[in-house]
A and B are shown apart, each in its own frame.
Chain A
Amino acid sequence: MSSLRVFKASAALELAQLRGNRAFVVLTALAAVSFLAMVSLFGLTGAYAPVALIDLDGGPYAKRLVEALLGAHHSFALKSMSPDEARTALYSGRLVGIITIPAGFSADVENGTTVALDVRIDNVNVDLTNDVQRALPAAIVAFGRRHQFPGVRVQMVEHDVIPHDTGYIPYLVVSALALDAMVIAGILGAMATAREFEYGTVKLLRLSPASQAVMLAGKLAVSAAVAASALAVTLVAIVFVYGVVPVAPWTTAFTLLACVAIFTCLGAWIGALLKRTLAAVPLLFGLAMPFYIDSGALEPTRFDGEVIWRIAHLSPVYYAVGVLEWAFHGLRVTPEPIYLNLLVLLAIAVASAALTLGRLSKGVAR
């Protein structure tokens, strides 16, 4: 029997199985979009702390101070409120703080008198508190520099390594693509092999005169193709909904396909080891988050320390995020050059495919 015919037959069988499990496939694809939505929600909390503003002055300097607060490095979402409303909102956790500009602020500033802003902070969360504590002086400095008050002797001069700033959500959604590839391709790959054990059809595979490696290749090719289609939907959402367009489309496509290949094979291996879809799916879900975080998904991994950075090299997601951030935004988030990340991805794809097929064949033979 020719290998091509075996491959085709195996692929057709797998496709029929997936057709019979449409709901499962749809839910897997939905998980991909869910991750995208979730990292976006997380990204939204990285900036613009909700803070009440009580302006008891209303003068020109108060207005300029409000402008400075609004321009303080994406720090505040100011909400004008009455003192009572603000107090209630603060005590019920709906605000991070209250800034009160006192009456007579403009007149005092005009006269060269230093005025204290009353700032009440709900310091329940250190991270939010730190952000507000650091942003307030930044706003005050911007206010002082704008009016060129005498006595300011030092200023910060910023030199950016990258000519443009990249928004946090556009950064996060690109790295979420690698996470999506891991979850979708991994689960579909695991399902392809675990099902053989669950349904007892592994015995038929064992008795078949055809090459087991080719049969497995046919099954995994279909799983990978379905995973790639689901990932394509996510990619379209990123491009058209988020407006993030890759600067290197071919590299993006190649990287995503490599990710699909790697994670389908790894998923298949996990499925063959655990022999149950029910065990493999949560394991992949559980592994996804730590792998994702230790991959430069939120910021270059090396900023988190040498140990974390070294560990990150064990995860293919690290290389994938490195290439994808470059392909989409032109950013380098790994110290390794992009071509090296690409080569590692390619090597992992080839090695994991060979290793998985080998192991699965052995598993089947037993």
Chain B
Amino acid sequence: MIGRIWGMARNDLAVWLRSPAAIAASLLPALGMGVLVAVLTNSVGQQPVALVVRGHGRFAQRMARIIQGDRDAYLLEKMTSADAERALGDQRVAAIIVIPENFDEALGSGDAAVDVYLNNVNIDLADDIRRSVTRSVAEFDAPQLGLLGELHGPARGVLLPNPYRVAIAEHDLRDTNVSFLQYQVIPIVVLIVISIGLLGTALLTARDFERGTAKMLVISPGGRLPLVIGRLVGGTLITFALITPLVALGFLTRYIPYCAEESEAPRWLTLVLSGPCGWRLPVPSWTHGLALIGLLTAVTLTTVGLGTLLGVALRDARLVTMTALNGAAYMFFLGGGFTTVPFLPDWIQIVSRLVPTRYAIDGLRQALFYPDLIGFGRDILVLSACAVSSVMLASLKLTRAWRRR
């Protein structure tokens, strides 16, 4: 029995590995999403801004130093007024911050201003700059409203009076911050699992019906059950064969030079390397490692079962491809890929509870980025239930479909 199961699984694996189109179909959309995340990492957070310092007094210079010091917020370039206006018109900068000539005099009368000329093309970009400049300006009169003050001021028991009468004592939940790219890598891993598991198995199943090889399987002396199990094992092996090197790569990319934040590599090199550098997974403890393997196995089995069902239902490679690509995209986004589910409207949050990928993404993030495994029990339970039910249903449908041939 085991030999027959293994034979079927090995055959599926061989067929799949000899189908570059199927491999491309499974990997390209996910890799496209990966490129998207890498580029997004470079475009979120920091915006190019011109700084024009017209004032020559010591307070104007101090204001300029505060703005220049906030490197997390801006990609700042000091310019003359004329250059800055040209840069704004040419879209080389998103805003111009001007410290006016009379800054020091106006400060004496409590009426100083920092002018911001903002390309408010959309509120996401505009609000980023508004928040950042407001913080820099506030830091002038209330130094503790700057980032260092938020983290190391009142939070450490040092509270300085400020004219706004409110300060911030920020306490971060964890010691290390996870970059935007690292955070979004998890859904990409899940998307790859969905694409390979769902599309790979669905294409193999549909192919049997299209080419008439399902008939040969039915009349083979191997018996239907081992062949059905073999198909599911094959789909699982295909998924593992591609996902294991990718996850392993995630643990190895920390050795790539220029990935460090303080690296002064040119921007184009940073961009090129942002994909591999972002694919850096933190090394988990053994308990979290086991959780990781459990979750990946459960989500793989779920998608393999769903893929088999899709193949049986549609029996056409082109339809299977389009349906699986659409389905994978919905499962990805509703599960929290590129989105943070709590940000979404209530009804979408309810819908996302019905999507297994949500539990996979939540569970994987918990296992990799959080010190504890809160919520892991629920995630693995839901995914295991989905895996068992989809595999059983797929076995049943596939046996029935082959019997009818």
Contact = CB atoms under 8 A, between A and B. Distances in A.
Interface of A: 21, 23-24, 27-28, 30-31, 34-35, 37-38, 41-50, 65, 72-75, 77, 90-96, 108-109, 112-131, 133-138, 140-141, 143-144, 149-162, 165-168, 171, 191, 274, 276-279, 281-283, 285-290, 292-294, 298-300, 302-308, 331-335
Interface stretch (B6-14, B139-147, B289-297, B395-403): B139-147
B232 interface: no
Contacts of B35: 289-290, 293
Interface residues of B, number: 122
B140 A153 contact: yes
A296 to B, nearest CB: 9
Given A124-B177, A137-B150, A283-B28, 9 more contacts: A45-B339, A124-B370, A129-B177, A155-B113, A157-B113, A160-B120, A161-B118, A299-B122, A304-B39
B121 A333 contact: yes
14 contacts: A24-B318, A28-B322, A46-B124, A93-B370, A95-B342, A117-B166, A120-B172, A123-B177, A125-B340, A151-B163, A154-B140, A158-B130, A165-B120, A285-B32
B223 interface: no
B271 A307 contact: yes
Contacts of B124: 43, 46-47, 168, 171, 298-299
Contacts of A144: 163-166
Interface stretch (B153-161, B248-256, B299-307): B153-161
Contacts of B362: 93
B25 A282 contact: yes
B133 A156 contact: yes
Contacts of A135: 131
A102 B170 CA distance: 14
A150 B163 CA distance: 6
Contacts of A31: 322, 325-326, 329
A153 B107 contact: yes
Contact of A165 (B92, B126, B166): B126
Contacts of B110: 150-153
B2 interface: no
Contacts of B117: 159, 161
Interface centre among A112, A128, A302, A332 (most CB of B within 10 A): A302
Contacts of A35: 329
Nearest to B113: A157
Contacts of A129: 172, 177
Contact of B183 (A37, A65, A124): A124
Given A115-B166, A136-B168, A285 B325 contact: yes
A133 B150 contact: yes
B277 interface: no
Nearest to B176: A123
B23 to A, nearest CB: 9
Interface stretch (B44-52, B76-84, B214-222, B384-392): B44-52
Contacts of B93: 303
Contacts of A28: 322
Contacts of B321: 277-278, 281-282
B43 A304 contact: yes
Given A30-B326, A133-B170, A140-B168, A126 B177 contact: yes
A278 B32 CA distance: 17
Nearest to B110: A153
B281 interface: no
B369 A124 contact: yes
B334 to A, nearest CB: 8
B271 A73 contact: no
List 6 A-B pairs, minimum CB-CB distance, nearest first: A151-B163, A286-B28, A144-B164, A116-B154, A134-B131, A289-B32
A109 B165 contact: yes
B121 A166 contact: yes
A44 B339 contact: yes
